[in-house]
Structure 1
Amino acid sequence: MQKKILGAAMVGHIVESFDFVIYGYSATIIAKHFFPTGDPTLAILSTLAVYSIAFVVRPLGGAVFGSMGDRLGRRTALSTVVLIMAVSTAAIGVLPTYAVVGIAAPLLLLLCRLAQGLSMGAEYTSAASYVMEQAPPGRRALCTSAVGSATFIGAALAAFTLLALRLSSAPAYADWTWRLPFLLGGVMALIGLYMRLRLEETKTFRAIEDRGETTSTPVRDSFRDWRVFLLLLMIFSLLAVVAQNFLGYLPTYLTTTGGLPAVTTLVASGIALVLCAGLSILTGALADRLGRKPLLIAGIVVAVLGSVPAYVIAAGGSLFTTVVAEILLVIPAALVGMTATVVAVELVPPQIRATSTALTYNIAYAVLGGTAPLVGTLLTARFGRLAPGAYITVLAALALVVVIVALPETRNRSVTVTRPRDDDAEPVSDVLSST
């Protein structure tokens, strides 16, 4: 596969995870700048609530831009979302603070996060669909895993960027250099826009378009096979909780509940994320050889067995114990994330692929992913520091049963349009019912 295809597909997701990690790790700083400082706890909760809001609108973005990908082409959707992402991410870096404009500050922050959420609603799954439709049959999972690894590459880049800013001058970071990563994210997204505008449309979409088989109602058609829809929703729900507990909540947990220095947290996170990026690629390669289902089950089992111990170990307070705890959380994130994405794209017909995968992915993230930091904070306050780990364990156990009983192996499924065009070709609705 051409490097420019993988690079263009990956860059948007790098920016997405970069921004969300920057925001999550900087929650305490953002709270001081954009909310009243009379109640620090309320300010942090408000900041995390704004973090969650971006996830709430992601299903809407998935419906809008996923439909664009199925009606107008994958390339068009990918270029549009990365442009919106560039503007909204960079805007956070120049927003006025609460001390300057009062209540307008958190409202402007909310507006930027809403725009980010809309654009990110179809970013990951559209990029994965684009890559898989271009990939050789025997390397679909490996190529798609490169897109998934961008999650951890972007997050690691964010962690190391924040580490550099804190080490160079902690007071300056608390005052104004926290803005620089958001500006950097905007620049990276513009580079991504340039790369994506140079791409060609996938052969699969061109074939559908040439045969007049694009659907005008991809959202409605996505809900017709409710069994596939609910199955993917369950898998993505587990991924959302595992990934966002690690990326969005754990940094705050380690610094506020665990009393760990911010620098130690950033170093540990960076190490774990780099390892997880490599594990993502390995997962894709193994999924091509062994099948998707065994790797997915393995990831869920690690989530069941390792989530509570991860939060126990995290209480150790050292760099080593923090790295171990984070690795226990990122292993299932990599295994589940890579295989779930591949399965989703392979299960859904190409006529509604961008829409259906975007909807299931983002509904799961809206309900359980975006709320993970907020729920984690509330669970810790109510039930103690092990409660977030128990929360993951329960959801993982439920997902394990569903995957074992209901999920088919998809390694040998075709993801391209292979049947000839004729007057008796079955309509999209019949394709859906046979999935």
Structure 2
Amino acid sequence: MQKKVLGAAMAGHIVESFDFVIYGYSATILARNFFPGADPAVGILSTLAIYGIAFVVRPLGAAVFGSMGDRAGRRAALCTVVLIMAVSTAAIGILPTYGSLGIAAPVLLLLCRLAQGMSIGAEYTSAASYVMEQAPPQRRARWISAVGSATFIGSALAVFLLLGLQLSSSAAYESWTWRVPFLVGGVMALIGLYLRLRLEESRTFTALAERGETTTTPVRDSVRNWRVFLLLLAVFSLLAVVVQNFLGYLPTYLTVTAGLTPVTVLVASGIALVLCTGLSLLTGVLADRFGRKPVLVAGVVVAVLGSVPAYVIATGGSLVTTVLAEVLLVLPAALVGMTATVIAVELVPPRIRATSTALTYNLGYAVFGGTAPLVGALLTAQFGRLAPGTYLTVVAALALIVVIFALPETRHSSDDPHKEETWHAGHREGPDRGRVPQARG
């Protein structure tokens, strides 16, 4: 069962990260194809703005498809979002350019990105929720971290595909083969749909449905559970800044600001992403053994201490310095990403798990993740090369306070569908202090 569950859950998330990395790494060529060529800087900023706008609709997708997961089942939501993802991704690969369609070209690009944003709004957290409800309690973090590692697997696949296309013929890539990755992403999403159609519904949701304990108002119930909602929002906001600064803005920074060739950037990114995939799996093992919170704190500390040095090293101009810079940025991405997701799905009550985690995750990404590339570009232009690293440091330092003083340990939380999980961190004494206590729902 483990291979079947993890394979189907990871498939959609691999496609999600694949699509977003393809767009982020293709920002300069998309700018040339979908915007007027009079001012290249305006074209790049416009392309990054569309990258960010797709994040704005993610909370709407979270509300719609997260609610579907809590009302109709996790499987229904997982299948629906990956189907939308397949169509919208493949569509980008066949869009006419600005030269042939004029202003309608960037409008169609925007519509495709909005559809991607809607579908992705419930992809990752729905997959994590489903896996959490199927996993053995003592191995939850490992299973969920496998799903989280799909972020870096999909990103690495995207990087290596782009690298292969550029090495085979840079002229062809500039002309038309840049479309190939988007078409490949559409096919990958259809494979994910096939795998998910073969899944059974999760045990936890089945038990809730059989007893008539599913909610009809998951969005309202999620907001009413406001303490947990705000806590998860803070943690996911940090995650959004760390991950999207690395995946969304760093490629443009290294090419435009540091003056590296696209091939050097792709090679360095591929190495870093492979490393991060392994680190993500290791994070799950550590979180199951030592607890979620210590590993999360370690990740945030690395973000505080390593972000500015990473941007200092990134300006070195060689493959070695670029890899070192990216490693400093992927360490917190893996440590924070895996443990934040595990804590989120364990902390939220089962009957609103899909909605509450999707909303907080995507609100954080809409405000801080989607804007990370654009903010990074603006900060660099205004304050210099180290400004993005400083921004990361400040956000991580603020999040560290929240993590240390407000976040409970969730390793021993129960997933009994008869019970509601309520958050009283800091109000328990003794060996169970910091655990998520259980109260009759």
Residues 372-401 of structure 1 deviation map (CA, whole Å, 9 limit, x = unaligned): 000000000000010000001001001101
Taking a change above 3 Å as real, the CA distance of residues 342 and 428 of structure 1, as seen in their structure-2 partners, is closer
Give distance in 2, aligned partners of 1:59 and 1:434.
30
Residues 79-118 of structure 1 deviation map (CA, whole Å, 9 limit, x = unaligned): 0000000000000000000011101100000000000000
1:247 maps onto 2:208 in alignment: no
Counterpart secondary structure, 2:224: coil
Give distance in 2, aligned partners of 1:9 and 1:51.
25
Give distance in 1, aligned partners of 2:97 and 2:14.
27
Counterpart secondary structure, 1:200: coil
Map residues 405-416 of structure 1 onto 2, 5 A cutoff: 405-416=405-416
How far 1:26 moved relative to its partner?
0.5
Give distance in 2, aligned partners of 1:65 and 1:350.
16
How far 1:225 moved relative to its partner?
1.7
Q: What is the match of residue 422 of structure 1?
A: none
Amino acid at match of 2:223: F
Q: What is the match of residue 100 of structure 1?
A: 100
Q: What is the match of residue 25 of structure 2?
A: 25
Give distance in 2, aligned partners of 1:222 and 1:318.
48
Q: What is the match of residue 135 of structure 2?
A: 135
Give distance in 2, aligned partners of 1:61 and 1:189.
17
How far 1:434 moved relative to its partner?
8.3
Q: What is the match of residue 355 of structure 2?
A: 355
Taking a change above 3 Å as real, the CA distance of residues 7 and 143 of structure 1, as seen in their structure-2 partners, is same
Q: What is the match of residue 342 of structure 1?
A: 342
Give distance in 2, aligned partners of 1:151 and 1:427.
28
How far 1:412 moved relative to its partner?
0.1
For the 8 Å contact 1:56–1:367, the answer to whether it is kept is: yes
1:372 maps onto 2:372 in alignment: yes
TM-score (norm: length of structure 2):
0.95
How far 1:4 moved relative to its partner?
1.2
Amino acid at match of 1:137: P
Map residues 134-153 of structure 1 onto 2, 5 A cutoff: 134-153=134-153
Residues 317-372 of structure 1 deviation map (CA, whole Å, 9 limit, x = unaligned): 11010000000000000000000000000000000000000000000000000000
Give distance in 1, aligned partners of 2:126 and 2:41.
37
Give distance in 2, aligned partners of 1:228 and 1:418.
19
Give distance in 2, aligned partners of 1:102 and 1:68.
38
Q: What is the match of residue 12 of structure 1?
A: 12
Q: What is the match of residue 157 of structure 2?
A: 157
Give distance in 2, aligned partners of 1:49 and 1:342.
31
Taking a change above 3 Å as real, the CA distance of residues 117 and 324 of structure 1, as seen in their structure-2 partners, is same
Q: What is the match of residue 36 of structure 1?
A: 36
Give distance in 1, aligned partners of 2:236 and 2:270.
24
Amino acid at match of 1:193: L
Counterpart secondary structure, 2:411: coil
Amino acid at match of 2:4: K
For the 8 Å contact 2:84–2:115, the answer to whether it is kept is: yes
Amino acid at match of 2:62: G
For the 8 Å contact 2:418–2:440, the answer to whether it is kept is: no
For the 8 Å contact 1:133–1:416, the answer to whether it is kept is: no
Amino acid at match of 1:5: V
How far 1:416 moved relative to its partner?
3.7
How far 1:227 moved relative to its partner?
1.2
For the 8 Å contact 1:213–1:428, the answer to whether it is kept is: no
For the 8 Å contact 2:98–2:104, the answer to whether it is kept is: yes
Q: What is the match of residue 423 of structure 1?
A: none
Give distance in 2, aligned partners of 1:28 and 1:177.
14
For the 8 Å contact 2:421–2:439, the answer to whether it is kept is: no
Q: What is the match of residue 226 of structure 1?
A: 226
Give distance in 2, aligned partners of 1:156 and 1:192.
18
Q: What is the match of residue 278 of structure 1?
A: 278
How far 1:432 moved relative to its partner?
10
Give distance in 1, aligned partners of 2:241 and 2:46.
20
TM-score (norm: length of structure 1):
0.97
1:114 maps onto 2:114 in alignment: yes
For the 8 Å contact 2:242–2:329, the answer to whether it is kept is: yes
Taking a change above 3 Å as real, the CA distance of residues 251 and 427 of structure 1, as seen in their structure-2 partners, is closer
Give distance in 2, aligned partners of 1:141 and 1:233.
20
How far 1:67 moved relative to its partner?
0.1
Residues 256-277 of structure 1 deviation map (CA, whole Å, 9 limit, x = unaligned): 0000010000000000000000
For the 8 Å contact 1:224–1:433, the answer to whether it is kept is: no
Amino acid at match of 1:37: G
Aligned length: 428
Taking a change above 3 Å as real, the CA distance of residues 433 and 363 of structure 1, as seen in their structure-2 partners, is farther
Q: What is the match of residue 62 of structure 1?
A: 62
Give distance in 2, aligned partners of 1:432 and 1:59.
28
Q: What is the match of residue 433 of structure 2?
A: none
Counterpart secondary structure, 1:259: coil
Residues 21-73 of structure 1 deviation map (CA, whole Å, 9 limit, x = unaligned): 10000000000000011110000000000100110000000000000000000
Residues 151-197 of structure 1 deviation map (CA, whole Å, 9 limit, x = unaligned): 00000000000000000000110110000000000000000000000
Amino acid at match of 1:292: R
For the 8 Å contact 2:349–2:421, the answer to whether it is kept is: no
Give distance in 2, aligned partners of 1:233 and 1:262.
35
Counterpart secondary structure, 1:223: helix
Q: What is the match of residue 85 of structure 1?
A: 85
Q: What is the match of residue 392 of structure 1?
A: 392
1:195 maps onto 2:195 in alignment: yes
For the 8 Å contact 1:272–1:326, the answer to whether it is kept is: yes
How far 1:417 moved relative to its partner?
1.8
How far 1:221 moved relative to its partner?
0.3
How far 1:415 moved relative to its partner?
2.3
How far 1:428 moved relative to its partner?
10
1:237 maps onto 2:237 in alignment: yes
Q: What is the match of residue 322 of structure 1?
A: 322
Amino acid at match of 1:371: T
Q: What is the match of residue 300 of structure 2?
A: 300
The percentage of aligned residue pairs carrying the same residue is: 78
How far 1:315 moved relative to its partner?
0.5
Give distance in 2, aligned partners of 1:181 and 1:213.
43
Give distance in 2, aligned partners of 1:54 and 1:333.
21
For the 8 Å contact 2:73–2:201, the answer to whether it is kept is: yes
